[in-house]
Structure formats: C-alpha cells, structure tokens
Structure 1
Amino acid sequence: MHPRDQDSTVMPHRFAVLAGIDLDDPELRRRLDAIAERTAHRLGQPIGLVSMVLNTAQVFPGSYGLQGWLAEMAGTPIEWSFCVNAVTSGAPYVVPDATEDVKQAGNPLVTVDGVRSYAGVPIVVDGAILGAHCVLGPDPRAFTEADLAELRRGADEISALLEEYRSR
C-alpha cells in the first residue's frame, strides 16, 4: 500500500525508520540546523525547520530562528503542526496567509505566536515520509516554484543525512 493511501502518521514502517535514527546525535543536529538556517536565508524567512512528525507531536531535530517556548520545547502538539499536512499528503504544503486559511486560522501558532506563512516539503527515508523541511514567517508570503525547489533540495540533503545516521 502506498503511503498516501492511508494515514502515514501511523504507519509501522514509518515509525521503524524514525526509531532507527538517533535524532539526539549532536553532530546530526548541528548539520540539520545548518540546512534549516541555509534554507531560511535563501528564502528570506526568519524560521527554518526540520520537523519529524510523530503520532501525537512533531519534534524539530533541526531548526533556525525559533524563539521562546518553541525553541525550548523544540516541537509542538500534532494538532498545531503545519508539517503533518505534507506528511499525510506526500506533497508540498503551502499556506500563504494562515490568518485567511480555513485549516490554519485557529491554530495557536497563528493566533498566539503570529505565524502567517508556511511552506514545507516531505522528508523521505527508505520510502517513509518522516516529516517536513519547512520555513515559517510572520508576514503573508506567496511561495514560488523556485522556493519549493529550494525546499526540495534541502529535504533531499536532509534525507541523505538521516540515512547516514540510520542504524540497520
């Protein structure tokens, strides 16, 4: 069965792949942070993330630009996750203005933390969609195909890196 044919956030293979990667490895985190920073700079956004989507939460093993509680927690409840949409669809997920988006307008990241724009693409390892590489910003933003291509380049690099750190 293809990942898009079921809720990929609960697929056993996906969790087996995730469990085989030491997301707490300091060198892995340093390298993921660098990719998040580079993508944020290239897209002119204040926040870049490498998000891994679990069944009840998302965690950020790589990040750039997070502040306050988001930086301290390095994750959110799954109900607040923009990235879960890229994971479950297997496709890029873009929100030009979250305050006008039916799905996201009531999200606490929007109403409390001021996130207005989001673009993310899936991160795939061994056929499993683990999370998303994304950028967020406080202003509305129309993301271009070139922006999504940059996110895809970063996601491909992240996938290769996660594969390097995967135990077999």
Structure 2
Amino acid sequence: MAVIVAAEDDVDVADLLTTTLSRAGHVVHMAGNGPRALQMVAECHPDLVILDHGMPGMTGLDVARRLRADDATSGVPMMMLSAITPDGAREVFDQVLHKPMPFRQVVDVARDLLDTSRPRLTTGRALTDPERLAAVSRLLAEPDPVDELSLALEIANIAEATRAQAAVVGLVLDKALQTITSVGLPDLVVEAGGAPLDWTPCGVLAGTDRPMLFDDLITDPIFRDIPMVTFSGVRSYAAVPMHSPEGLVVAVLGVMAPEPGRFGGGTLDLLRAAAPRLMKLIDRRR
C-alpha cells in the first residue's frame, strides 16, 4: 500500500483514477487544482504524486517544479498524466503518460515508480500518522484552571508584542485545528472551538514541521482562497510548530493581521522562544 496525492480537475477522470488506484490497495488523496495538491503533499507525505498539466491556478508542471525545488519533497516520485506534454516535463517528472489510456496501465506504472530506490519524504510526519495522533490525543484532557489562565495571559502578551490582530495556540488533529487559547479570532471560530485545517496553513506547517511567515497570503497560490483569507481577511501570518516531549508536532502557535507585511523574522524568533514555555503548560494535561 502507498499514499498517493493526485491532481485532476476533470471530476469524472478524478473519480475513475481514485477508484482504480484504491482498488489496487493505495490510499488516494485527490486535489482539483495545483495549489491544493501542494497543500496535500505537505500534509500527507505521499509516496507518489500524479499530476495533470492543464489545471486552474497552477499547471502540473508548475507544481512539480515547486516540489523538486524543495529539499523536503525533491525525492518524491512524480508522474504526469495529461493530454498535453509541456516542454520540460520529462526533465522534471519520473514518468509522463498521455491521456486517454487504460487506468490499469497507470496502476502498473505507479507500482514501478514505487519500487524505485528514490528517497521518500522524511521531514515531519503525515497528519494521520498514528504516533503523532496518539500524542495529540493525550493533550485533549480538561486543563487546570490556573494553567488555562496562564495560557490566556501568554497569548494576549504575544499578540500585543507582535502587534497582531489575533493570536492562537491550537492542537493539530488530522482534519481540524482545535483551539486551546486565543485572542482576536472571529466569533464563529471561537464558538466552534477551532476550524477545519483546510481553512488555515496549519496543516502544511505541521506536516512539514517548519515555521511559516507570509507577508501577504493573497499572493500565495496555495492559501489565497482559504476562508482565513477570504472570510477573516487575514493577510499577514506567522506561526511555528509546537512539539511533544517525543519531538512530534502536536500544536501550532500563530499570529495574524489584516495588513500585509506586518510580521518579520523577529516575530518568528519571538514565537519560537514562547512555544516551549506554552508547551509545558499544555503538556500538564497528560
């Protein structure tokens, strides 16, 4: 069994490809466009990526080049499955297949690519990794009221120090961010106790185990259409992962602002310094 991220904007083709690969025993995550495919790769840590070329937002070749340029994903096997082969595709993809073709052949080529010795993605862990989720589940107990107050004061001080409109500490589940403490978040998110990971960059941050800093999310092809931008109006964003004693990413500490260019490298330094202190308070829930 392998984890496969595929991107195909034709719904019928996407359904057939998903069904065929799933019947072959693989776990398939299907994206409808290039930016979503990049997000899924960061979250799911796939063993193979399959990309159409002519998709909205970013072409398949654009996505592949971005993955090859990142040390964390440069070694992931990639297949292009497209009616058109753009110039340069064969230099980026491990295999280029032309539509239309029997999907059984796609399965055979996928098997061959998965059998290669190309190194796999090793930075971070998939959001669905059992060990990571077990570490998160141990932090879901009721907090001590004194610790809860301390966390609230800490996050308020962080928001003030960074001049952020909102700041949050949240547990990263497999599909959602569960808020532990926050200031300045929209009422809808506060009342719900969190938000789907698709609404925020937190899933990618947790999957890659890397800090994130955006001068303006509107200019980013992956995140410009997420609700945090379109609904909440967030433009500037900075966040760092928070780790369990075992070194697993279990939570995120982040700040947000509606103006572009609000945060810089100093903001990340402040968040990095605060994260272990906050994690000690959260870890008492074990």
Match of 2:133 among 11, 15, 33: 15
1:133 CA displacement: 0.4
Deviating beyond 3 angstroms after TM superposition, the runs of 4 or more aligned structure 1 residues are none
Once the two structures are superposed, residues 33-55 of structure 1 have per-residue CA deviations (whole angstroms, 9 ceiling, x without a partner) of: 22211111100001010021111
For 1:155 and 1:92, the matched residues in 2 are separated by 11
> Residue 112 and residue 159 in structure 1: after superposition, are their counterparts in 2 closer, same or farther (change >3 A)?
same
Report deviation, 1:20. 1.4
Pairwise CA distance, 1:25: 1.8
Name the residue aligned to 1:52.
Answer: 171
> Over residues 124-158 of structure 1, what are the superposed CA-to-partner deviations in whole Å (9 max), with x where a residue is unaligned?
01211012100011111253222111001121112
Indicate conservation of the 8 Å contact 1:30/1:62, yes or no.
Answer: no
Q: Which amino acid aligns with 2:260?
A: P
Aligned to 2:240: 121
1:81 pairs with 2:172: no
Matches within 5 A, 1:1-168: 4=123, 6-7=125-126, 9-25=127-143, 27=145, 28-126=147-245, 127-166=247-286
1:156–1:69 CA distance, 2 compared to 1 (3 A): same
Q: Deviations over 1:3-57 (max 9, x none)?
A: 72541x1121212122112453252432222221111110000101002111111
Contact 2:124 2:207 (8 Å CA) reproduced: no
Give the total of aligned pairs.
165
Which AA in structure 2 matches 1:15?
L
- Paired AA for residue 203 in structure 2: V
The whole-number CA distance in structure 2 between the counterparts of 1:42 and 1:5 is 29
What is the one-letter code of the residue matched to 1:32?
A: L
CA distance in 2, matches of 1:81, 1:3: 23
CA distance in 1, matches of 2:243, 2:257: 24
Indicate if the aligned counterparts of 1:23 and 1:29 stay in contact, CA closer than 8 A: no
The AA in structure 1 aligned to 2:194 is G
Structure 1: runs of 5 or more not aligned: none
- Give distance in 2, aligned partners of 1:22 and 1:78: 17
Give the AA of the match of 1:78.
L
TM-score by length of 2: 0.54
Q: Match for 1:160: what amino acid?
A: K
Q: What is the Cα-based RMSD across aligned positions, in Å?
A: 2.0
Letter in 1 for 2:155: A
- Judge conservation of contact 1:51–1:131 (CA < 8 Å) in 2: yes
1:94 CA drift (Å):
1.3
Q: Distance in 1 between matches of 2:141 and 2:184?
A: 19
Identity over the aligned pairs, expressed in percent? 26
- 1:67 deviation in Å? 3.0
- Provide the TM-score with structure 1 as the length reference: 0.88
Change (3 A) 1:101 1:23: farther
Q: Is the 8 A contact 1:86 1:131 kept in 2?
A: no
Give the Cα separation in 2 of the matches to 1:79 and 1:137: 19
